[in-house]
């Protein structure tokens, strides 16, 4: 014995039917717009198709209730049917799409079947179920309309200047708090060309997985050929996305950076998103085979030369994302000693100074390239548990392990900056958890206009030096 209940809603949005279909087919994204869903994730491997499976946690009468969904009917750019099962009820969600000029009309019908005790509560639950359905559809409509405001840039505040309150947002708890205020991201990155450096582990790999699942055309830059091939095969299998390409380069060597740039230029494929993520922390001071201090080479000079060289492939609407560190707040760029030759060497200080330099460069590119429609942003991931942190900062890792974010949480803002419509409406900002942040918290880290210009000229001089070397 059972009792049934039906919900039906219709509305139209100004989006191509292909984008609407792809967004709705990934049922894991329901968590962004349905207030009754606590979490959702795709658990089956491969591309989304009939038979794809999703695990949801829904909010029910103050409880968190697990619910398993399967995509039982998949008709590209026409209809989708999901079957959900939970304790005491099932839900069959059928979505029908119809193109109307430049709009898409959406009909969503949910048939709920209740058993056991729940069937007797239908008369009491009817109004609340109808309200839940309407709220869900309004959330979906807003998500698909994708007309959210650009987040307001943060200013320096007393709270930010106090050590403990300022650091708390770096933790996983800061991430979870920030997440409560996020808007859905329905913008499509399918088939857009994304180049990411440093994707063998950590933030880069997490970002690559997310972007691959969204259908991006990925070029992943790594050093180790065997690991690169393994990651490529794994991502294709996991996401069903065949457009995952590998480029091999040691980005601490400027000859490799220039050779990589030349290969990409020769390929002539426009770059929609360039993510400068490659990085490491070195202790003690080390020099590359080219005679450069390793932190400066990998963290500042390398992304500078790579981005400058790839500028011809950046088109109107392209985005450059530089991955920095919150440690930047503690240091000022030393334009007279970019290679950290003077005084006692600290790997963490050299790292922070290089990231400070890349922040300055981010702002310079943003100003110069804004007229061409190219957005340039920087972000930092907070405190994330990566192999780099574990190996390079063992004491920090020991003390902060319970507070550390997952690589996926740390990489979230990278993916958001690459995808979200709002991120393409501004430029030259420094982000944490999808929110612009102040670039300086201390007066002592503030550089002069002359120092900023000197940094630019010095980096250009290094670039010219290596370009003069026969490849």
Contact criterion met (CB below 8 Å) for 360 and 458 = no
Nearest to 429 by CA among 374, 379, 392: 379
- Catalytic hit among 120, 351, 397, 462: 351
Q: Is 52 exposed, middle or buried (0-12, 13-18, 19+ CB in 10 A)?
A: buried
- How far apart, in whole angstroms, are the C-alpha atoms of residue 400 and residue 168? 11
Return the structure tokens found at 393. 């900062």
Nearest to 218 by CA among 234, 370, 325: 234
Cβ-based neighbours of 65, under 8 Å, separated by 6 or more = 57, 58, 59, 86, 87
Residue with tokens 């702002």: 363
Contact criterion met (CB below 8 Å) for 293 and 286 = yes
- How far apart, in whole angstroms, are the C-alpha atoms of residue 89 and residue 93? 13
Q: Is 412 exposed, middle or buried (0-12, 13-18, 19+ CB in 10 A)?
A: buried
Residue with tokens 């239908």: 122
- How far apart, in whole angstroms, are the C-alpha atoms of residue 108 and residue 97? 9
Residue with tokens 């600290």: 346
Q: Which residues pair with 403 in a beta bridge?
A: none
Torsions phi, psi of 367, nearest 5? -65, -40
351 noted as active-site residue: yes
Return the structure tokens found at 50. 């009939």
Nearest to 299 by CA among 225, 204, 198: 198
Residue with tokens 């079957």: 83
Catalytic residues: 351
């Amino acid at each position: 014995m059972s009792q049934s209940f039906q919900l039906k809603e219709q509305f139209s949005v100004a989006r191509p039917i292909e984008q609407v279909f792809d967004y709705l087919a990934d049922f894991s994204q329901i968590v962004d717009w349905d207030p009754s869903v606590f979490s959702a994730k795709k658990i089956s491997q491969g591309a989304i198709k009939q038979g794809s499976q999703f695990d949801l946690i829904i909010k029910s009468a103050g409880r968190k209730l697990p619910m398993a969904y399967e995509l039982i009917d998949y008709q590209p750019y026409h209809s989708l049917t999901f079957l959900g099962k939970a304790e005491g009820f099932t839900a069959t969600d059928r979505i029908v799409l119809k193109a109307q000029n430049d709009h898409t009309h959406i009909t969503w019908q949910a048939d709920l079947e209740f058993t056991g005790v729940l069937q007797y509560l239908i008369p009491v639950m009817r109004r609340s179920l109808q309200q839940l359905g309407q709220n869900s559809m309004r959330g979906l409509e807003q998500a698909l309309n994708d007309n959210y405001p650009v987040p307001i840039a943060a200013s320096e505040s007393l709270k930010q200047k106090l050590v403990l309150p300022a650091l708390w947002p770096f933790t996983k708890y800061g991430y979870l708090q920030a997440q409560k205020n996020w808007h859905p991201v329905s913008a499509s990155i399918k088939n857009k060309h994304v180049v990411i450096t440093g994707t063998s582990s950590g933030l880069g790999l997490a970002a690559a997985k997310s972007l691959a699942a969204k259908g991006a055309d990925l070029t992943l830059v790594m050093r180790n050929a065997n690991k690169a091939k393994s990651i490529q095969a794994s991502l294709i299998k996991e996401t069903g996305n065949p457009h995952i390409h590998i480029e091999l380069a040691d980005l601490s060597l400027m000859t490799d950076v220039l050779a990589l740039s030349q290969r990409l230029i020769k390929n002539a494929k426009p770059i929609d998103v360039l993510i400068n993520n490659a990085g490491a922390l070195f202790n003690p001071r080390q020099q590359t085979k080219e005679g450069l201090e390793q932190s400066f080479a990998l963290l500042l000079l390398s992304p500078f030369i790579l981005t400058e060289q790839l500028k011809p492939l950046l088109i109107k609407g392209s985005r450059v994302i530089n991955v920095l560190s919150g440690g930047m707040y503690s240091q000022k760029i030393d334009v007279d000693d970019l290679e950290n030759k003077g005084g006692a060497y600290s790997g963490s200080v050299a790292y922070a100074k290089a990231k400070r330099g890349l922040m300055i460069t981010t702002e310079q590119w943003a100003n110069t390239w804004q007229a061409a429609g190219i957005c340039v942003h920087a972000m930092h991931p907070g405190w994330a548990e990566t192999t780099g942190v574990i190996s390079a900062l063992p004491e920090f890792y020991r003390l902060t392990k319970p507070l550390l974010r997952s690589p996926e949480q740390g990489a979230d803002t990278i993916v958001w900056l690459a995808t979200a419509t709002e991120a393409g409406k501004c430029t030259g900002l420094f982000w944490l958890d999808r929110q612009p942040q102040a670039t300086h918290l201390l007066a002592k880290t503030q550089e002069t206009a002359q120092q900023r210009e000197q940094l630019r000229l010095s980096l250009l001089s290094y670039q010219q030096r290596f370009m003069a070397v026969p490849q």
